[in-house]
Amino acid sequence: MNAFRQLVGIQARRTMREPAAVFFMLAFAPMFAVAMGLIFGNEPVAQFGGRGYLDANLVSFTAIIVVILGLIIVPVDILSQRDSGALRRFRATPLRPGTYVAADVLVRFVISLTSIVVMLAIGILAFGARPEGNLGSVLLVAALGVVVFLAVGYALAAVLPSQGVGQALGNILVFPLIFLSGAAVPLDVLPDDVRRVAQVSPLTQLVELLRGLWDGQPWSEQWVPVVVLLGLLAVAGVVASRFFRWE
Amino acid sequence: MSTAIRCEGVVKHYGPVRAVDGVSFEVQRGEIFGVIGPNGAGKTTLLECLEGLRSRDGGVVEVLGVDPEREVREVRRRTGVQLQSSALPSRITVGEALALFASFYERPADWRALLTRLGLEEKRDTLVEKLSGGQRQRVFVALALVNDPEVVFLDELTTGLDPQSRHAIWDLVRDLRDQGTTVLLTTHFMEEAERLCDRVAIVDHGTVVALGTVDDLVASIDAESRLTFSVDGRPPVEQLQAVTGVTRVEATGDRVVVHGNGSRFPQGVLGVLADQDLRMRDLRSDQPNLEDVFLTLTGHAMREGVVS
């Protein structure tokens, strides 16, 4: 228990000491909401069925945070610690891998969710974005999204050979996934074929789920994205716990 | 004295390469035992088998009476490890690293006292990556001691350090031994082994080629010592050759090299010079050392690129 507490404290401080991590995990989402709010405002627009830009899009920015977290930040940090031998040094102690991973997950979960909550608060309080559904459900799904993509990050760290590969793969995948998810560009403007392909991406499913709940659709209509996300969580969790290694 | 570490016929191969090929020795409690040999001799692999970080392919290993592969946690709890290639997570301070590693053990040592002992108390709030090589190495030594271990494994402890840091770490290792800790270290520095180790095992190509105290090993090869000096005037070559133990005398101008066996002949040489009332300058004495032991036993030199 003492080891867990120490690890939580150290991971939190390590993260806050790295400018890139602070930016992407904490500051990026609120800044993105502010920028979009200043550029597009939240005046009613016909394109969004008489709602404002932020009303229609704010919640989907969540996907940008979680995909950067899961595909770049987590695997690159874990892989760089494995490459440098830092994880190997832990192996020479009685520390259990599960304790290490649990502490790391907790810290990253809290930071990322904080960032998402601040982003939503800015959109709602500063620009007047209004959810038509239940905000609690939206936050629940945001938390689920963070957990799913944290698991993906650990799964990638478990199977990829080095930090360089992790960095390259993350950078290659992140931008198409964001593009196809509808979080940055509305899917309506894309050709039908591209939209069909986009449905395969779990990130697109996360955006659909967040939007659906934000727009006030009932949970009963959301079973496809929920199943996709829980399925991905299960697969990534199994891969991560089976193949995670100190060296 | 009781046995702290016992290994018998330890084998580890990587594919067709037998990195460790039937190594046996015992380390007594409270001694500094050195596994020495050139780079690539299999020292680190052997050490990792003893630490329980690598599974062996054959043989018996007992550390503090238990098999480190079977009772991993018991061995982790009671031993300390300094790895040859080691690192800490980036962006943590010295104090954080010590507090973190202390939290992994039920009864840790007082890590603040440990930092003071290693001369790192002022570096407590410094990021580990900002330290000099010697300071960082001391941090890793501190981490190896943070659980107050009964046995500590030190792999290439002083490689890459400046002489001052090296001497400081040697002093620390002797202190540890004097307090009853068993130390097993690997090194490819013969000087380190000669100055620090109570006993050594010389390893080459995965096997132990010699085992014993440094003095005994050096005496066992029966190698010559050399005394080199200059004299004012003609060197008394014949009288020097007559000294007991002297095997050969070379004189070039006023420079003289006397070869001999045993530890007594230098005294005889000095006596001859005193009798002749000759003044001696630039005296140098070369004793056989572990390098010579290694060369004699294996037929090749310790260091790569050194032609024997």
Question: What is the per-residue pLDDT across B218-240, written as a single tens digit (0 to 9) for each?
Answer: 888 878 889 999 998 888 999 99
Q: Is A94 in contact with B105 (Cβ distance < 8 A)?
A: yes
Under the banding of pLDDT at 50, 70 and 90, the label for residue B30 is very high
Band the pLDDT of B185: cuts 50, 70, 90.
Answer: very high
Minimal C-alpha gap between A84 and chain B (Å): 6
At residue B303, the pLDDT reads: 66
pLDDT at B306 over 90: no
Give all strands (DSSP E) within B112-260, no chain letters: 151-155, 182-187, 199-204, 207-212, 225-231, 246-252, 255-260
Q: Is B35 helix (H, G, I), strand (E, B) or coil?
A: strand
Rounded to the nearest angstrom, the minimum Cα separation between A179 and chain B is 32
Q: Do B83 and A2 touch (CB under 8 A)?
A: no
Q: How many CB atoms lie within 10 A of CB A189?
A: 10
Q: Does A96 touch chain B (CB under 8 A)?
A: no
Residues 6 or more apart whose Cβ sits within 8 Å of residue B244 = B264, B265, B268
| Rounded CA separation A88/B305 (Å) | 32
DSSP conformation class of B93: B
Which residue ranges form the domains of chain B, and what is each CATH number?
3-219 (3.40.50.300), 224-287 (3.30.70.100)
Å from B165 to nearest chain A CA?
22
Domain count, chain A: 1
Query: Residue A18: its chain B contacts at CB < 8 A?
Result: 90-91
pLDDT tens string A30-74: 999 999 999 988 888 888 888 898 998 999 999 999 999 999 999
**CA–CA separation, A90 and B101 (whole Å):** 8
Q: Closest approach of chain B CAs to the CA of A238, in angstroms? A: 25
Residue B301: which residues within 8 A CB-CB, separation 6 or more? B291, B294, B295, B307, B308
First CA to last CA distance, chain A:
24
User: B101 CB near a chain A CB, below 8 Å?
Assistant: yes
Distance of alpha carbon A97 from alpha carbon A130, whole angstroms? 43
**Rounded-to-integer distance, Cα B230 and Cα A213, Å:** 96
3-state secondary structure B254-308: CEEEEEECCCCHHHHHHHHHHHCCCCEEEEEEECCCHHHHHHHHHCCCCCCCCCC
Q: What is the tens place of the pLDDT at every residue in A166-186?
A: 999 999 999 999 999 988 877
Contact between chains at B90 and A14 (C-beta distance less than 8 A): yes
Of A2, A5, A86, which is closest to B89 when you measure between CB atoms? A86
d(CA A144, CA B304): 57
Q: Do A134 and A215 form a contact (C-beta atoms < 8 A)?
A: no
Tell me if chain A has a CB within 8 Å of the CB of B92: yes
pLDDT tens readout for residues A13-36 = 999 998 888 888 889 999 999 999
Domain residues for the domain of A53 are 2-243
- The answer to whether B99 contacts chain A (CB < 8 Å) is yes
Among B81, B88, B91, beta carbon nearest to A92: B81
Whether residue B177 contacts residue B31, with contact meaning beta carbons closer than 8 Å, is answered with yes
Query: To which H or E segment does residue B21 belong?
Result: strand B17-28
What pLDDT shows up at residue B1?
A: 61
Which of A5, A10, A94 faces B77 most closely, judged by CB atoms? A94
- Helix (H) / strand (E) element for B72: namely helix B72-78
Is the C-alpha dihedral spanning B293, B299, B304, B308 positive or negative?
positive
- Spatial neighbors of B49 by CB under 8 A, at least 6 apart, are B7, B10, B12, B20, B55, B56, B61, B68
B160 to A235, B86, B87, B110, B188: CA distances (angstroms)? 45, 14, 15, 28, 12
Residue B136's H or E segment, with its range, is: helix B133-145
State the residue for tokens 């400046």.
B162
Number of cross-chain residue pairs from A and B with Cβ atoms under 8 Å apart: 63
Judge whether A80 is closer than 8 Å to chain B, CB to CB: yes
Sign of the CA dihedral B210, B213, B219, B220?
negative
Q: Which two tokens stand for residue B166?
A: 């090296």
